[in-house]
Amino acid sequence: MRKSAIVSVVLLAALVAFGPVALAQEPGLKVPLETPGPGWRTCPHCENNAHVADDRKKANVDTRTFNPHDISGVWGNGGPQFDALVPLDFNTVPPLTPYGQKLLDANKSDSPQWNSKDPWNICDPLGWPRDFTFSYGMEFIQLPDRVLQFFERGHTWRTIWTDGRKLPPDPPIQRFYGYAVGRWEGDTFVVESNGFDDRTWVTRYELANPDPQDPLHKPGTGGAGNRFGFKYLGGFPHSDEMRVEERYKRLNYGLLQATLTVIDPKVYTAPWTTTATQALRPNAEIGEDFCVSSDSIDFTNRITIPTLSTK
Amino acid sequence: MLRRMFMIAVLVVIVVLPMLTSPVLAHHGNAAWSSNEITLKGAVVDYVWRNPHVLVVWSGKDDSGKVVQWTGQLLSPSSMMARAAMNKNTLKAGDEIIAIVRPAKSGAPNCTIDELKKADGTTLVKMGGTAE
């Protein structure tokens, strides 16, 4: 009897995921904008797409004059949904090296229903460049000798030094967000970084099961999976020798183009480059979105564990 | 022997349970929830306005008259603000609600909330459709 109890407890480690729900339709401007108070702005994740579009229209983002060397501001495309600031394209990921494949296989989830190996599950830092592929919004603040890049998800930042220093050739301590230096090449802000802790993922890797009859089915990658779970769950790895290059170019007042390249010959046989644009969020302020262990544990106890299903 | 086995079980719970946390707000599978909706009524016991998901806990009677306490999940607080103008004061203990939910396949009184209404039928939030 006691042995069964122990086995049952251990089996709890095989989790059932819990499904997200999302609204049937875009709620629109009828949903009042919530802010902390007078003079305060909403967070990028806290306003729906209708309000985002309305704010941008009021700020004349499409026609306003701009300084191409000014990339400051809050940027992010989405409203309440997750915003991959740069969605690393699963269709263009280069072939992995044998070592890279070994790491990818090790990251594969134990369960088709949730991403069991995801380090974010236990509130490990998202790291770079994953925070750029899985965020709610980011903010650039330019100072004379550095550019600060803040991320709402994880409530963290990284410092991009623009004082002329070079990247450390062999940093003594690996960092989750690496070491970064930046410079201008014409109207393009180029950032190079290295010195990464290899425990983070470049990005998660999720494929929904093909179930076109399921209204929640999303073709291609990611999404909420469906009632049959995911076809593949895991994360793309990187080594501690990874380098990342980003190129930011302000296309107009309201649009910032970002090209992100992962260079990691130990894991990927070729550089992995993705380009995307982010929208200026003139009426948003970076909020606070920590991964809180105690909140997660409480949620696990209230929802995850009781919802475990063997059906 | 029994005491040792019990201690092992406690240790497993202490070590394993924190690892089961999943603060990721989306990209969980939907396989845990039934595809069929049911309607439940009751009085709010707890309203958890926190990440990773807003939770609503309520007590109501099932068909046999037995009181059951249900825990239903919504999205994150910021998502609920953006989509449904919910806030920390939307619900309080004692509020009567009608919940249209998809219950857990496990049979536990847990669910994902598709629609929440006040007792008078006014819709508080309506979910469902394209997933985040």
* pLDDT beneath 50, residues of chain A: 1-24, 217-224, 311
Residue of A nearest to B101 (CA): A21
Model pLDDT, residue B6: 55
Q: By the 8 A CB rule, do A138 and A85 touch?
A: yes
Among A18, A207, A289, the strongest candidate for a mutation testing the B interface, having the largest count of B CBs within 10 A, is: A18
The pLDDT value given to residue A211: 60
Mutation test of the interface with chain A: which of B1, B15, B20, B68, choosing the one with the most A Cβ atoms within 10 A? Answer: B20
With a cut of 50, which residues of chain B have pLDDT below it?
Answer: 9-27, 129-132
What residues contact A145, with CB distance under 8 A and at least 6 apart? Answer: A161, A162, A163
pLDDT tens, A19-30? Answer: 333 444 567 898
Q: Do B132 and A81 touch (CB under 8 A)?
A: yes
Measured between alpha carbons, how far is B9 from A185 in angstroms, rounded to an integer? 60
Comparing CB atoms, the residue among B17, B31, B132 nearest residue A22 is B132
Residue A35 makes CB contacts below 8 A (sequence gap 6+) with A41, A42
Does residue B123 belong to the interface with chain A, where contact is any CB pair within 8 Å?
no
DSSP state of A221: B
In this structure, how many other beta carbons lie within 10 angstroms of the beta carbon of residue A170?
A: 6
Lookup: tokens for A16? 């059932």
Q: Note the pTM of the prediction, 2 decimals.
A: 0.81
CA A258 to chain centre: 14
User: Residue A89 has what pLDDT?
Assistant: 66
Q: Which of B105, B103, B113 is nearest to B47 (CA)?
A: B113
Chain B partners of A228 at a C-beta cutoff of 8 Å? Answer: 31
pLDDT of amino acid A268: 98
Task: Give B-chain residues touching A20 at CB under 8 angstroms.
Answer: 25-28, 30, 75, 112, 131-132
Question: B126 and A23: CB-CB below 8 Å?
Answer: yes
Q: Is B79 helix (H, G, I), strand (E, B) or coil?
A: helix
Q: Which residues of B touch A224 (CB under 8 A)?
A: 26-30, 131-132
pLDDT at A16: 40
Q: Which of A6, A82, A120 sits opposite B5 (nearest CB)?
A: A6
CA angle B80/B86/B92 to nearest 5° reads 125
Would the CB atoms of A2 and B5 count as touching at under 8 Å? yes
Cβ pair A6:B113 closer than 8 A:
no
Residue A4 has a pLDDT of 46
- pLDDT single digits (tens) A117-167: 999 888 999 999 999 887 788 999 999 999 999 998 889 999 999 999 999
